Structure 1
Amino acid sequence: MNGALAETSSRVPGVTPGLLCSVVVSTWVEDTTAGPVAFLLIGHPPARRQGETAESVEQQMLGLSAALDLAEPAENIRHVGNRVLLLGSSGALLTIAGAPYSLRLPSVGAEWSRMVGEGCPVCILLGLDPISPHTPERATQEYLGAALATGRLRMGATAAMDAREPMGLAR
């Protein structure tokens, strides 16, 4: 599933509309030793546009990671601020501080939306290696395992924003 964008009011270098429209986004809920966690995986498909290379896409993904304040995996995942704005029962935006756009997530599903709305934490996982859209669950788990083992994953914890919080969306 590819992301979409929603315009906001400022700029962050490297976070472009093209990047946000091309990322691969997956969401799921998992029971962990810390309790239920909502997951959000952001990846990118293999380079496919004219002039695009694996290195240029990786640099864009590192820019997105920096804009989201994500870090290399650690025992304690740091909180990067409340960045999820729920839109009804299965829609959501991921806000990017200082960026001209927010990432509109593909349908997150009613369970994900309900749990996040009730305060369930969201673990953002950003992969630096390509992943194809519509990757099956088992292949996604293998991708995450390999990315974690090779340091090609960035992580952060977030939560739902209060809808009354200002987020800078263009009106």
Structure 2
Amino acid sequence: MNGTLTKQPSRATGVTPGLLCSVVVSTWAEVTAAGPVAFLLIGHPPARRQGETAESIEQQMLGLSAALDLTEPSETLRHVGNRVILLGTSGALLTIAGAPYSLRLPPVGAEWSRMVSEGAPVCILLGLDPIPPHTDEKATQEYLGRGLLSGRVRMGATAVMDPRESVGTAP
């Protein structure tokens, strides 16, 4: 599912409405050795617009990675601030530091929402290589495996924002 946006007050360099509307977003939940984790994969489809290239898309994705404060797989996974806003039992937003928009996630499902609302971390995975829309679970896992081994995925941990936090002041 493609992301949608909601307006916020400031601006992050390189994070555009066009980028946020074109990303491919997947969510899933797992119980890992470290406990329950909600996952969020952000990818981009192959170049398809006039003037768009793999290199230009990668630069935009690196800009989004920087705005989310994500790290390379070889670095220690770190908490990038509480960035998730839950919208009922199946909707959510991901805030982006300094951006005038939040990324609306596709329906996350009741289990993902419950885990996050109960304090489970959200592992953000941002892929730099194109990922076709409507990729199935097996292809997604293969994509992540290749990306993690080659250093073409950026990562970070986040959590649900306290409802009293201002959307415009997310880290």
Range into which the TM-score falls when normalised by the shorter chain: over 0.9
Deviations 1:120-164 (A, max 9, x none): 000000000000111000000000000001100000000000111
**Contact preservation (8 Å) 2:8, 2:168:** yes
2:119 equivalent in structure 1:
119
Give the whole-Å Cα distance in 2 for the aligned partners of 1:28 and 1:75: 23
Q: Give the Cα separation in 2 of the matches to 1:108 and 1:144.
A: 19
1:1-171 superposed matches below 5 A:
1-74=1-74, 76-168=76-168
- The residue type equivalent to 1:16 in the other structure is T
SS of corresponding position for 1:76: coil
Deviation at 1:32, TM superposition (A): 1.2
RMSD: 1.1
Note closer, same or farther for the CA distance 1:64–1:75 as it changes in structure 2 (3 Å cut): closer
Could you tell me how far 1:75 is from its partner in structure 2?
Answer: 6.3
Alpha-carbon deviation of 1:69? 0.1
The ranges of structure 1 where at least 4 consecutive aligned residues each deviate by more than 3 angstroms after the TM superposition are: none
1:13 Cα deviation after fit = 1.1
Do the aligned residues in 1 keep the contact of 2:11 with 2:100 (CA within 8 Å)? yes
* Post-superposition offset of 1:31: 1.6
Alpha-carbon deviations, 1:92-144, whole Å to 9, x = none?
Answer: 00000111111000100010001100000000000000001110000000000
Q: Secondary structure at the match of 2:167?
A: coil
Identity, % of aligned positions: 80
**How far, CA to CA, are the matches of 1:59 and 1:6 in structure 2?**
23
SS of 1:168's equivalent in the other structure is: helix
Gaps of 5+ in 1: none
Contact 2:86 2:160 (8 Å CA) reproduced: yes
Structure 1 residue 167, shift from structure 2 partner: 1.0
CA distance in 2, matches of 1:16, 1:116: 27
The answer to whether the 8 Å contact 2:74/2:151 transfers is no
TM-score computed with the length of structure 1 as normaliser: 0.96
Kindly indicate whether the alpha-carbon contact (under 8 Å) linking 2:3 and 2:104 is maintained by their aligned counterparts in 1: yes
Distance of 2:90 and 2:76 partners within structure 1 = 29
Alpha-carbon separation, structure 1, partners of 2:14 and 2:84: 21
Number of residue pairs matched? 169
Cα deviation, 1:59-92, whole Å, max 9, x if unaligned, reads 0000000000000014631000000000000000
Structure 2 unaligned residues grouped into runs of 5+: none
